[in-house]
Amino acid sequence: MEFIDTHVHVNFPTFEDDLDAVRLRWLEAGVGALVHSCVTPDEFDRTAAIAARYPEVFFAVGLHPLDVERVWEASLPERVRTLARSNPKVVAIGETGLDFYKSTARSLQAEAFLAQLAIAMDLDLPVIIHCRDAAPEAADLLRALRRDRPDDRLRGVMHCWGGTPEETQWFLDLGLHISFSGTVTFKKAEAIHASAQLVPDDRLLIETDCPFLAPVPKRGKRNEPAYVTHVADRLAQLRDTSVGAIAAQTSQNARALFRLPQPLDLTPAIATPAHAE
């Protein structure tokens, strides 16, 4: 049984001292591929080094909406474009999007979001979209973009999705995938549960968004990719199917969206952890 964690932050300092051990746990859990999502282009070199070390790690390059005020400049989109072209393990643009929960820089966030969407469409890469307290604005922006560029394909995923079923349908209608994180395991997350039941099989993805939002029964701990199995388990319950079916479907969807290679034989890595190689 293979799982693909479509959104991780494994270059964060919290993993610095034990990433080899974390990797061994995700391999033992059956995680056969991961997509690391950069929050700023400054992460690129560190993430590329991890991706070079671990063949199952792929990544996205972009600028998170909550970092826009700190690092946005006119040359940044071209930098993102150049970096995306520079490494074959870059499989997406992001994470980008809108976050109106903690920031009032709405126009600047929209400018950065549009610039990164344009790069994704120009390069025919999917976009990883962060959306918090901004679903109507994000949907309107994406609809306008599709009207302006009707001949260009918009591919992507609403990551760590926490919206209502109505909002979920907006983004499904735009052709996007929906990815669920540990929040789908939370007892009181009724809107997320309803959304998880709504998403068609071929648009469903799973993620941890580690080190954040550890799922039940790991709440309160540092999240890590091995815990994506708990997300799959809860989705199986909500969708009245098996964990195996969720694993197979979401892995197939992830490989198609991010154009990931066929599953790798990672058995030697389990037998011989990276620190011992």
What does the pLDDT look like over 86-131, one tens digit per residue? 999 999 999 999 999 977 799 999 999 999 999 999 999 999 999 9
Q: What residues have CB less than 8 Å from 169, skipping those under 6 apart?
A: 198
Write down the pTM of the prediction: 0.95
CA–centroid distance for 224 within its chain: 14
| The predicted structure's pLDDT at residue 258 | 98
| The predicted structure's pLDDT at residue 161 | 98
| The predicted structure's pLDDT at residue 277 | 43
**Up-side HSE of residue 7: CA atoms within 13 Å toward CB?**
30
**pLDDT-derived band at 268, boundaries 50, 70, 90:** confident
Higher-confidence residue: 74 or 186? Answer: 186
Mean pLDDT of the chain: 95
Helix (H) or strand (E) holding 179: strand 177-180
**pLDDT-derived band at 210, boundaries 50, 70, 90:** very high
pLDDT for residue 132 is more than 60:
yes
pLDDT for residue 145 is more than 50:
yes
pLDDT for residue 229 is more than 80:
yes
Helix or strand or coil: residue 6? strand
Neighbours of 147 (CB within 10 A): 8
**pLDDT-derived band at 61, boundaries 50, 70, 90:** very high
Edge-to-edge strand list for the sheet holding 3-8: 3-8, 31-37, 57-61, 90-99, 127-132, 156-158, 177-180, 204-206
**Up-side HSE of residue 73: CA atoms within 13 Å toward CB?**
7
| The predicted structure's pLDDT at residue 274 | 52
What average pLDDT score do residues 30-56 get?
A: 97
